[in-house]
Structure 1
Amino acid sequence: MALTWNPQKKHSDLERWVCIYPVYINSKKTLAQGRKLAKDKCVENPTHQEIRDVLSAAGLRVGVENKLHPRERSKELLFRGRIRVHLKNDDGTPVQPNFPTRDSVLLHLGTTIPKLKIRQTRQASGDQSSQQSSSSTKKGKGKGRR
């Protein structure tokens, strides 16, 4: 049974918090697959842990749910997770003036997640392995056509 919108619910209730799926800021997805921002402002394959860490570091109250975006085809754990964010006080004013809307939160995530230490080390190790593989490959004379 689906929950219906209830005007008696306050902004501080968990049901009224804003939902954010990792697919919203995934640069590998298309707009039809659920991406909400332009590709240049998105991140490659963000996880719900990274989103949670960035938002909690920004001082927002965050909740994580084991949900999957409806348009997500893959059932892998990498794509799982729905983040709930408390954006408004009960009187309707923003909890933090830096984040008045969901879009402002998504833009913050798109700029902050690439700066995470985990991303930096992963990127550096990926660069080293690609350099080693390209330098060690030899081009030999193949069997040619007969």
Structure 2
Amino acid sequence: MQTTTDDSAYRAYQCIYPVYFDATRTRAEGRRVASHLAVRNPLAAEIVAACASLRLPAVYEAGKLHPKDWANPGRVRVSLKEPSVAARIKNKHHLYLLIAKHLREHPVTEDGPALRMIVRGAPPPPQVEDGKPWPRPAVPRGWKMGELLPYYSPAMTGGGVSENFLKDMMKEMGGGGDMASMLAAAAGGGGGPSGSGSSGGKKDKKGKGK
């Protein structure tokens, strides 16, 4: 497994995000496996472990975000085109099933290594005393996110969502548009508040009396 900030050499690789396996999400909210195959609190670090156990060429991108799951950073790129891989894994959906099986067999726990994977450029993970719970994220009202998130998650730093993070998220989603449009895109997929859409259309003007 490799880590990288330059994805130019890996653009043909399949991108895999934790939200694909999140049992708390619907298909419209990003889940890509059946609900009975999904898990709670999937993390990119455990997807890395799944790829390692499957002997797959993989690249871990710790800072990448899925627009419908902004609080759970990290994605994994996997190559399925190498002959040794293609002989064992039929297609992308087959890969999802194999990763989902690993995640069910290796659930993320508060004292497990997946939460504490060291990420270059991020502050060190918090020192949690034995028997103490892992810090919970600051969840904005109406937003969906896991209870167990990496220590460098935007929801775990500073006790909430910062404006700088939202700007970074907007860049991650394509770089265009204003803040309201970016939040609307996230909300539409279940990553944001429900029922927060604005009413469309222009207000009818009252006719003038004669």
TM-score interval w.r.t. the shorter chain?
A: 0.5 to 0.7
Q: How far is the alpha carbon of 1:98 from its aligned partner?
A: 2.4
Deviation at 1:96, TM superposition (A): 4.0
The one of 39, 52, 56 aligned to 1:43? 39
Distance 1:118 1:34 in 2: 19
Aligned residue type for 2:74: G
Cα distance in 2 between the residues matched to 1:94 and 1:19:
19
Q: How many residues align?
A: 103
Higher relative contact order (CA 8 A, sep 6+): 1
Question: What amino acid maps onto 2:67 in structure 1?
Answer: P
Structure 1 gap segments, 5+ residues each: 1-8, 123-146
Amino acid at match of 1:82: R
**Of 67, 70, 93, the match for 1:70:** 67
* Aligned equivalent of 1:81: 74
Distance (Å, rounded) in 1 between the aligned partners of 2:18 and 2:107: 19
Task: Summarize the Cα distance change of 1:96–1:70 in structure 2 as closer, same or farther, 3 Å threshold.
Answer: same
Matches of 1:33 and 1:117, distance apart in 2: 21
Q: Which amino acid aligns with 2:99?
A: L
Q: Percent identity?
A: 29
> Given residue 81 of structure 2, which amino acid in structure 1 is its aligned partner?
K
Q: 1:101 Cα deviation (Å)? A: 1.1
Task: Return the alpha-carbon distance in structure 2 between the equivalents of residues 83 and 102 of structure 1.
Answer: 13
- In the TM superposition, what is the alpha-carbon distance from 1:116 to its structure 2 partner? 2.1
Superposition map of 1:99-118 within 5 A: 99-116=89-106
Measured in 2, the distance between the counterparts of 1:24 and 1:112 equals 14
Contact 1:42/1:110, CA 8 A, preserved across alignment: yes
Q: Greater helix percent: which structure?
A: 1
Whether 1:26 and 2:19 are equivalent positions in the alignment is no
CA RMSD of aligned residues (A): 2.3
Cα deviation for residue 102 of structure 1 reads 1.2
Give SS of 2:85's match.
Answer: coil
CA–CA separation in structure 2 for the residues paired with 1:59 and 1:47: 19
**5+ unaligned residues in a row in structure 2: which ranges?**
1-7, 113-210
Picking from 57, 61, 69, the partner of 1:61 is 57
Structure 1 position 70, deviation (Å): 1.5
TM-score between the two structures when normalised by the length of structure 2: 0.45
Moved over 6 A (4+): none
User: TM-score, with normalisation over the residues of structure 1?
Assistant: 0.63
Name the amino acid aligned to 1:81. Answer: G
CA deviations over 1:95-134 (Å, ceiling 9, x no partner)? 2422121111110111121212765x87xxxxxxxxxxxx
Structure 1 or 2, whichever has the larger Rg, is: 1
